[in-house]
Amino acid sequence: MSNLPKQTNDSQQPVREFFDNYFNENLTFPGAEVDAVVGYFESRGFDRTSSISTASVILKQAKIDNVAVFELLDTLKGLDGTQLSYIVTEVLNNNRVNTSSLGYKVESPSDLSEKRNIVV
């Protein structure tokens, strides 16, 4: 007897593995690009964790759109914090499940009463 798991000669195993990973695309990125994108978002005030998750989405989207990541970062350099947050929110929402989305709280006007002239 052995402590190793039982080996089965299942002829369907390669087919199962193929279809289990059918929608999972393996994407690889150079380490320098990953570090540069993560560092960019950290320098703009993002936490380490949010920088990594945002960088992964940006890198994936850049590869899908066939755009160089550094060109994409160059377009983001002229934005202030609010504009950058808005752009990042849009990109993240496009890469999320439709049942979940990120947004902003917009302050509503303080005077909501209607004003009209009533002639008696």
Whole-prediction pTM: 0.61
DSSP 21: T
Per-residue pLDDT in tens (0 to 9) along the chain, 120 residues: 567 666 666 777 788 777 777 777 777 888 999 999 999 999 988 899 988 988 988 898 888 888 899 998 888 888 888 888 888 888 878 777 777 777 767 676 666 566 666 676
List all residues 6 or more positions away from 94 whose beta carbon is below 8 Å from its beta carbon: 61
Residue type, 78: G
pLDDT on residue 2? 65
Q: Where are the alpha helices (H) located in the chain, listed in sequence order? A: 13-20, 31-43, 48-65, 69-76, 81-94
CA distance 77 to 41: 11
